[in-house]
Structure 1
Amino acid sequence: MSFDVLEDAKGWLRRSGTDSERGEFVDPRDGSITLTDFVTRHWRAGVRGAPGTVKRVDERVRLHILPHLGAVALRDVSATVLRGYIATLEGECSPRYARQILTSLSNIFETARSTTSASSATRCGPRRSVGRRPPTRIVTRGRWQRRSGCGT
């Protein structure tokens, strides 16, 4: 972000600071980062597991996701883009391996969503529905209750 006049920059900084204190600040760059940049700068460092697992996840991302979607900005990944990618993927590999690749892609998007979301309403919004576990419930005073978190 650049400004023509120093006073404009100072004004933007003051407004952003106030918005941040209120919890309303949204970085204007959110979503403009490409998938490759996000994976490289933010996601890859958080991958955990046995060395072999980390290696396989990295291979899936490097060989099957980034060549097709790496240049796309996160905000431009739409259902249409994903349907085209899934069709390509189904032609390139077995259904089982395609599911593993899509699981890695889903993990990247979930990480991007939690990293770039500014409000809890967005973070608690719809998630991928395939393979989701039902909400965890706990017993309190003899009744089942949903565990606190999103939507409660």
Structure 2
Amino acid sequence: MTAARRRQPGEGSISQYQTKAGPRFLAKYSYAADDGTRKQALKRGFPTRKAAADYLRERVTSVQRGEHVAPNRVTVEEHFAAWLDGLRQQPSTVASYRKNVRLHVVPHIGALRLEQLTGTRLTKLYRHLETAGRADGQGGLSPRTVRYVHT
């Protein structure tokens, strides 16, 4: 039997821990923060070592390519609030954007963290708005309104 290969510095680590449901694995890696310091990110709950290794490989590669997005807890609703406050558009345009976000975005995906937002979730939101998106519950929105929500 061969000994397990040790990971080199910068490759991250995988650890096993016990839960009531049985053993689980966690993956830990480091990345450069915006201020230049090194930070560590940790993801728990992988059912197998292979699942943790796949996740770790993906994250370390994104760090090396410079594509890594630091984990944070900002929700879609918080992001939109900050974004709308910083817009330099006509007041009527900002009011329209606020209305679309308040009526059609926040009720469906506002509680999601930004890192959980995917193209598939947005497509699902658009399809829902087309079929049952009206605030009064009387059917769907027009394709033009869905396009405005997308904008």
TM-score by length of structure 1 reads: 0.47
Query: Which structure: larger Rg?
Result: 2
Whose helix proportion is higher, 1 or 2?
Answer: 1
Higher relative contact order (CA 8 A, sep 6+): 1
Specify which structure has the higher proportion of strand.
2
